[in-house]
């Protein structure tokens, strides 16, 4: 037999239409069948127990003083349950057969098959639930007990939904921000009900470059771990480049070269940084007294360490470091008095 293929979206629409149409057909049939079964049962019992049945309102009347019961017979519920279970099984079997014959892609076929089974099973369970639970008080008690169990069993799911609401209300980050949460860094590309999708940076890649992987972080982590936003409000971060020189080097000359290139890179950004800081000071208790690049000097075991500290945009950290390192290397190469330190051994003869 020749197999045919349908586009995925069209097949999903056809699948949903078939499922809901089938249930719309067999629900009235199940009600009619149940009424017929209940009517026969009551007619049989009324000869011996003088029980009357109002077919229009499904009311049982028992001839005892002050007793008036509105209840569907157990036999009728059993018949309705059997009928719905049988139709659900046949419908599930038919749809799964259609999917297996129509879809060639194994992954899509498996996904559609699972979704169809879940949808039919849940719908059948809901219908059977309302067949057996007729009393409002019973439903209230059931949901009261069930909600306590669900709260324990689905605690993580509830936390994810609460985290999603907190993200929408407090807005600690939004799509496009670069954040770190639960030791995972990335750019936010989507915020869903249960998870936040990040385009991962870092990991085995240096200097916060993208790895190309999409990481889904549960929203519940917003309550459990600190989240760091690189972009919100003040998108500049402090970055440092340490350089180790020999003890014999002219470290003052090296410091001058490093500051020259860092100051050139910072031209035009100081005013922008000041505006951002002023805007943030209206919301947070934040204050910086030093915005221009600076070089710190430190004596190490194997040389003199010069650490260049400067402000850069979070997403330009690697490009600015590359710019500074290239120009610093070129100028150091021109100076005979400035040399890089590296591990060495000295042998002294007495």
Helix, strand, coil percent content, the chain, rounded in steps of 5:
55, 20, 30
Region 251-258: what's the mean pLDDT? 93
Quote the pLDDT of residue 28.
53
Quote the pLDDT of residue 66.
39
Residue 214: band (very low, low, confident or very high) from pLDDT cuts 50, 70, 90: very high
Least-confidence region, from 8-17, 112-121, 171-180, 224-233? 8-17
Region 74-94: what's the mean pLDDT? 85
Region 74-81: what's the mean pLDDT? 83
Going from the N-terminus, what domains does the chain have, and what CATH number goes with each?
8-135 (no CATH), 157-229 (2.30.30.60), 236-334 (3.30.70.100)
pLDDT tens string 304-338: 999 999 988 888 888 899 999 999 999 999 988 99
pLDDT tens string 2-11: 444 445 455 5
> Which tokens sit at 105?
């892609």
Quote the pLDDT of residue 59.
46
Quote the pLDDT of residue 257.
93
> What is the chain's mean pLDDT, rounded?
76
Cα–Cα distance measured from residue 209 to residue 140, given in angstroms and rounded to the nearest whole number: 54
Cα–Cα distance measured from residue 167 to residue 190, given in angstroms and rounded to the nearest whole number: 12
pLDDT tens string 271-291: 777 777 777 777 777 767 778
> Which tokens sit at 4?
């045919």
Quote the pLDDT of residue 174.
85
């Amino acid at each position: 037999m020749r197999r045919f293929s349908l586009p995925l979206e069209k097949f999903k629409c056809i699948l949903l239409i078939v499922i809901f149409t089938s249930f719309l057909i067999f629900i009235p049939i199940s009600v009619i069948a149940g009424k017929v079964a209940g009517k026969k049962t009551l007619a049989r019992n009324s000869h011996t127990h003088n029980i009357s049945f109002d077919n229009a309102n499904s009311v049982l009347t028992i001839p005892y003083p002050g007793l008036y019961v509105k209840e569907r017979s157990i036999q009728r519920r059993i018949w309705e349950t059997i009928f719905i279970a049988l139709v659900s099984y046949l419908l599930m079997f038919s749809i799964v057969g259609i999917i297996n014959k129509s879809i060639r892609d194994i992954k899509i076929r498996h996904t559609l098959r699972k979704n169809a089974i879940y949808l039919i099973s849940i719908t059948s369970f809901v219908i059977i639930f309302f067949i057996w639970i007729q009393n409002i008080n019973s439903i209230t008690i059931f949901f009261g007990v069930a909600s306590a169990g669900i709260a324990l069993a689905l605690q993580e799911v509830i936390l994810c939904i609460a985290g999603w609401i907190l993200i929408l209300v407090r807005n600690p980050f939004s799509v496009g921000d670069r954040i770190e949460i639960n030791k995972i860094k990335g750019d936010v590309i989507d915020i869903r009900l249960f998870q936040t999708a990040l385009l991962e940076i870092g990991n085995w890649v240096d200097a916060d470059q993208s790895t190309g992987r999409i990481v889904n972080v549960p929203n519940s982590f917003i309550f459990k771990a600190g989240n760091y936003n690189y972009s919100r409000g003040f998108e500049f971060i402090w970055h440092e480049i340490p350089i180790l020189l020999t003890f014999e080097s002219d470290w003052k000359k090296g410091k001058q070269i490093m500051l020259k290139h860092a100051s050139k890179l910072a031209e035009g950004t100081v005013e922008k940084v000041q505006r951002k800081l002023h805007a943030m000071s209206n919301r947070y208790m934040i204050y910086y007294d030093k915005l221009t690049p600076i070089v710190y000097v430190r004596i190490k075991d194997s040389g003199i360490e010069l650490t260049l500290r400067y402000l850069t945009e979070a997403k330009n950290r690697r490009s600015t470091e590359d710019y500074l390192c290239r120009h610093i290397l070129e100028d150091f190469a021109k100076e005979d008095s400035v040399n890089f330190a590296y591990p060495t051994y000295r042998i002294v003869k007495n």
